[in-house]
Amino acid sequence: MSQQSLQLIHHQVMWTRLISVVEEQAQALLRTAFGSVVREAGDLSAGVYDTNGRMMAQAVTGTPGHVNTMAMAMQHFLQRFPLDTMQPGDVFVTNDPWMGTGHLFDFILVTPAFIDEKPVALFASTSHVTDVGGRGFTADATSVYEEGTLIPHMRMRSNYQLNEDLLNIIAANSRNPVEVLGDIRSLVSCNDVGVKRLQSMMSEFNLDKLDDLARHIFESSEQATRAAIARVPDGVYRSSMTIDGYEKPIELSSSLTISGSNIVVDYAGSSPASRYGINSPKCYTDAYSVFGLKCVIAPDTPNNYASLQCFEVRAEPGSCVAPERPSPVTARHVIGQMLPDAMFGCLAQALPDETPAESAGSIWVLAMSSVSDSKGKNIEPFNVMNVGLGGVGASASAPGLNTTAFPSGVGGIPVEVTETESPLLFRHKEFIKDSGGAGKMPGGLSQRIEITHTDNTDFLVSAATWDRFDNPPRGRAGGQDGSAGKSYLASGATLQGKTTHRIPAGDALVVELPGGGGFGNPSDRSKEEVKAELEAETISYDRAREWYNHKEN
């Protein structure tokens, strides 16, 4: 074997080891986080960068929105804190939505790593915190100033001493100060774990810098990604999709221009920024647009600086996909997490057999809290978060996944955790029969969740990220649409999306998530597969007859 081949193997081993380093970093955050949305659902990201601020590797654990926005955020830190000014023990922080977080609830912490007093890498991590003040987790605000406390790029730690003044400011503006401070300390700790593991790795491989490894990672990733893009037929592909929006429906207009190994996304013609907090900052728009493209075009290419740089995303400043300060952005999921489906609408024209049907998209964050009692009743205060997950769109080769968060990738939060943290009771959490769109491959099922207060007291719920009431996930290639979302009181009254609702004492909140779209003509689904669905009780006999012309006998 040649020396060059041995060197390539050596680099590949180190690259794999580097991924394991950041995965351990992410797992440290997962194990120590205070907030249930991080600890249970994995709403986080972790990564390592070279000394130029380019992401070399990301953890497997985490979400595309966090990872891909964090990948862009490092340059903003280096502009304010040049590498040669950093010292061992430093940690830097921000939650600026336009500088790489997307909304105020995500904090990014950056920690430099040193070998013999020389900086060799940078670690970053992100997680969602429970509360940052302001109106809380709601889309009702009309400016970012109402949405909570914005922390500009600052030092969180210097010479291993935490900035207690900054921590006190953050805690003083939060309804959940213990959880928020716990999460921030967890971010500090997980970066420290990354630094230690990297130092151990470099010692094992006798490295004093990562330049050669970074070069191998970036060259290999760009070559693989551009080769994957080149396999897509050249052309300009256009698509549009409508989502419910807040004060009015949102139109997402997208075009995809593919020329050789180059790809450009353009959202020209999309709706202007909403007056309310559902807008997707450009960094978040970039994150989910590229994620959607990579899912179809280059799913096996590692995610790093080089693979992300192969995609260019354009958007008009002031639009809902590139809002300008001080537009409200708390519920940026509503638009941002629909963008992979917008990309699929374009890709389906170029790669019809490789592009799945639409999914539920935006996760339904169930942000629930106590409400003050005008009669002076002693109310147990609480502020908790759970998540509702809908169905995933089917592909040409497989049914859609049931109650799975695509594209965010977060997991569910066990109902027992939320019940432990609050006086709430989950009466029901169950699949909804017939909710997946019919097709040769059916869409994934959604779920019904029913929640009440155990003390016969009112409580509040924010519908900030609830969408697809009027615009359900569309099927593909002859497949039928998934079911639309619904929310209502158990007593019967309908609840709208986006705003905050007061659930009366003795009543219950009921939400039904959207189902995934089906793929292919339903008449092409085999009788055996329909029978299996009936036995599994995922479809009813009425729908089996209607959709698939199934005979009971």
Q: Say if residue 509 is in the same domain as residue 462.
A: yes
Residues 25 and 143 in one domain: yes
Q: Do 85 and 186 sit in the same domain of this protein?
A: yes
Same domain (yes/no): 346, 364: no
Q: Facing residues of 111 across strands?
A: 123
pLDDT on residue 409: 92
Q: Which pLDDT score is estimated for 70? A: 87
Regarding whether 495 and 477 lie in a shared domain, the answer is yes
Do residues 122 and 241 both lie within one domain? no
Residues 107 and 181 in one domain: yes
Give residue 267's pLDDT.
98
Q: Is residue 28 part of a domain?
A: yes
**217 within domain boundaries:** no
Domain boundary (321, 354, 387) is at 354
The pLDDT assigned to 553 comes to: 56
* Tokens coding 60: 């497997």
Which residues in the chain land under pLDDT 70?
1, 373-378, 552-553
Residue 410: inside a domain: yes
Specify the pLDDT at position 373: 62
> What secondary structure, in 3-state letters, does 230-278 show?
HCCCCEEEEEEEEECCCCCCEEEEEEEEEECCEEEEECCCCCECCCCCC
Residue in the structure block whose two tokens are 């010292």: 87
Please answer whether residues 544 and 442 qualify as being in contact, where contact means their C-beta atoms are separated by less than 8 angstroms: no
Task: Report the number of distinct structural domains present in the chain.
Answer: 3
pLDDT at 421: 94
pTM of the full structure: 0.95
Which of 144, 174, 209 terminates a domain? The answer is 209
> Are 295 and 403 contained in the same domain?
no
**How much is the pLDDT for 62?**
87
What would the pLDDT profile of 252-275 be if each residue is shown by its tens digit?
A: 999 999 999 999 999 999 999 999
Domain extent for 345: 229-354
330 and 305 within one domain: yes
The sign of the dihedral angle between the CA atoms of 368, 168, 113, 82 is: positive
Residues 275 and 173 in one domain: no
Q: Evaluate whether residue 218 is within a structural domain.
A: no
Domain boundary among 354, 380, 401: 354
Residue 223 lies in a domain: no
If asked whether residues 287 and 192 sit together in one domain, one would say: no
**What pLDDT is attached to residue 402?**
97
Cα–Cα distance for residue pair 274/247, rounded to 1 Å: 8
Q: How far apart are CA 44 and CA 22, in angstroms?
A: 12
Task: For residue range 301-351, list pLDDT tens digits in order.
Answer: 999 999 999 999 999 999 999 999 999 999 999 999 999 999 999 999 999
The answer as to whether 220 is a domain residue is no
425 and 516 housed in the same domain: yes
Check if the beta carbon of residue 250 is closer than 8 Å to that of residue 339: no
- Is residue 384 within 8 Å of residue 424, measured between CB atoms? yes
Instruction: Kindly report the backbone phi and psi dihedral angles of residue 369, in degrees, each rounded to the nearest multiple of 5, phi listed first.
Output: -150, 165
